[in-house]
C-alpha cells in the first residue's frame, strides 16, 4: 500500500477484522502506526488474528456480532471507555448466507439485513459522538463503508426490506442491503457536512476471501485465477481513511481510489420518500431495542 499519508497514533475500529480484507485493512493501518481495534463475531479466529497483528503494532480484539444492536452499542461503549474518541470507523463486516431465509433472533429481521444494514446503522450511530470528539481534537474523522458491486443490480425495497416477497435469494437480499448502505453513506455525508466527519463507501473489487468462497462457491471456482488478493481489496479502504485528498470528498462510492457512479441502471434509483422511510425504519427499530434493553 503505497503513497499513504500518516495515520500514526490514530484510533481505528474495523469490523469483520479477523480475516480476509478486514485483516489486511488492519495490517495496512498498523504498518503506518495506527492503533487498531478489530471486531468479529468469531471470537477464536478474532483473537488469533489480533495476536498475529500485534507483531506490527497495537491491536486489540473486541468480540462482537454487530447484527445485535446491543452488541454494537456495547462495542462503541468499550471504545469510549478505552480511548474517549475514535478517528476512523471501517464498517467492513458483511455476509451473505444464501437461501433459505434466516431470521436473526434479536431483531426478528432477515439475518442478511440485520448484519449488513441495521448493524452498521446502530454501530455508526453509537460511534458518532466518538467520531465528533476526534474531529474536534484532530481536525477530522473518517467512516468507510464496504459495499459490493452487486448493489448495481438492485434498488431498496422499503415495503419489503427483508426480501420476503417471492422466492428468497440471499444474493438479492445482500445486494439490496448494500444499496441501503449506500443510501446511509449519502445521508450521513449530508448530516455530518459541518461536523468534520467524512464518510465514503467503496467496492473492494472481487477478492479471493473466505467470504467469497463460502457464499459464492461456484463463482469462486470459475474466477479464482483472476480474483484480487485481500491486500488489493483493502488498499482503497485504507486510502479513503488516511489520505489527505480523500478527506475532501464525502458521500461517494469508490473503486481503486477513484469515485464511481452510484447507479448504472435507472430502475435502481430510490425516491426521496423511500430514503426517508428507510431511515425511519432503522431509527424506529433502534429506539425500540434501546427501550427493551
Tens-digit pLDDT profile for residues 130-175: 999 999 998 899 999 999 988 999 999 999 998 888 889 999 999 9
CATH code: domain of residue 159:
3.40.50.720
Total tally of structural domains belonging to the chain: 1
Question: pLDDT of 277-291, one tens digit each?
Answer: 999 999 987 776 555
Return the higher-pLDDT residue of 37 and 266.
37
In a domain, 5, yes or no: no
Tell me the average pLDDT across 22-28. 95
Q: Is residue 1 assigned to a domain?
A: no
Domain assignment of residue 53, yes or no:
yes
Distance CA 103, CA 291 (A): 21
Residue 276, in any domain of the structure: yes
Catalytic residue among 37, 152, 174, 285: 174
Q: What is the DSSP letter of 105?
A: T
pLDDT confidence tier of residue 292, bands split at 50, 70 and 90:
low
Distances in Å between the Cα of 48 and the Cα atoms of 33, 40, 76, 92, 147 are 20, 12, 22, 19, 26
In a domain, 97, yes or no: yes
- Which among 141, 147, 117 has a CA at the least distance from the CA of 233? 147
If residue 259 lies in a helix (H) or strand (E), which one and from where to where?
A: strand 258-260
Q: Per-residue pLDDT tens for 217-234? A: 554 344 445 456 878 889
CA pair distance 75, 210, nearest whole angstrom: 24
In this structure, are residues 81 and 60 in contact, taking their beta carbons and an 8 Å threshold?
Answer: no
Residue ranges making up the domain that contains 152: 11-292
Q: Is 101 a catalytic residue?
A: no
Amino acid at each position: 500500500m503505497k503513497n499513504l499519508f500518516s495515520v500514526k497514533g490514530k484510533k481505528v475500529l474495523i469490523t469483520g477484522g479477523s480475516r480476509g480484507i478486514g485483516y489486511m485493512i488492519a495490517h495496512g493501518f498498523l504498518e503506518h502506526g495506527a492503533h487498531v481495534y478489530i471486531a468479529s463475531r468469531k471470537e477464536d479466529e478474532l483473537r488469533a488474528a489480533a495476536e498475529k497483528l500485534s507483531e506490527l503494532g497495537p491491536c486489540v480484539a473486541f468480540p462482537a456480532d454487530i447484527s445485535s444492536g446491543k452488541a454494537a452499542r456495547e462495542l462503541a461503549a468499550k471504545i469510549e471507555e478505552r480511548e474517549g474518541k475514535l478517528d476512523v470507523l471501517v464498517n467492513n463486516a458483511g455476509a451473505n448466507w444464501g437461501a433459505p431465509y434466516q431470521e436473526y433472533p434479536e431483531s426478528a429481521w432477515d439475518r442478511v439485513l440485520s448484519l449488513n444494514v441495521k448493524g452498521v446503522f446502530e454501530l455508526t450511530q453509537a460511534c458518532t459522538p466518538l467520531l465528533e470528539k476526534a474531529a474536534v481534537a484532530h481536525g477530522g474523522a473518517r467512516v468507510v463503508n464496504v459495499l459490493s458491486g452487486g448493489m448495481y443490480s438492485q434498488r431498496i425495497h422499503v415495503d419489503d426490506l427483508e426480501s420476503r416477497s417471492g422466492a428468497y435469494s440471499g444474493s438479492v437480499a445482500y445486494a439490496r442491503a448494500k444499496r441501503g448502505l449506500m443510501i446511509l453513506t449519502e445521508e450521513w455525508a449530508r448530516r455530518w457536512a459541518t461536523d468534520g466527519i467524512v464518510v465514503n463507501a467503496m467496492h473492494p473489487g472481487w477478492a479471493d476471501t473466505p467470504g467469497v468462497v463460502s457464499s459464492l462457491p461456484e463463482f469462486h471456482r470459475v474466477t479464482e485465477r483472476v480474483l484480487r488478493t485481500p491486500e488489493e481489496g483493502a488498499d482503497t479502504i485504507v486510502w479513503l481513511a488516511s489520505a489527505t485528498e480523500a478527506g475532501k470528498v464525502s458521500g461517494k462510492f469508490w473503486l481503486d481510489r477513484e469515485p464511481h457512479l452510484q447507479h448504472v441502471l435507472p430502475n435502481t434509483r430510490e425516491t426521496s420518500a423511500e430514503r426517508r422511510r428507510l431511515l425511519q425504519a432503522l431509527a424506529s427499530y433502534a429506539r425500540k431495542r434501546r427501550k427493551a434493553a
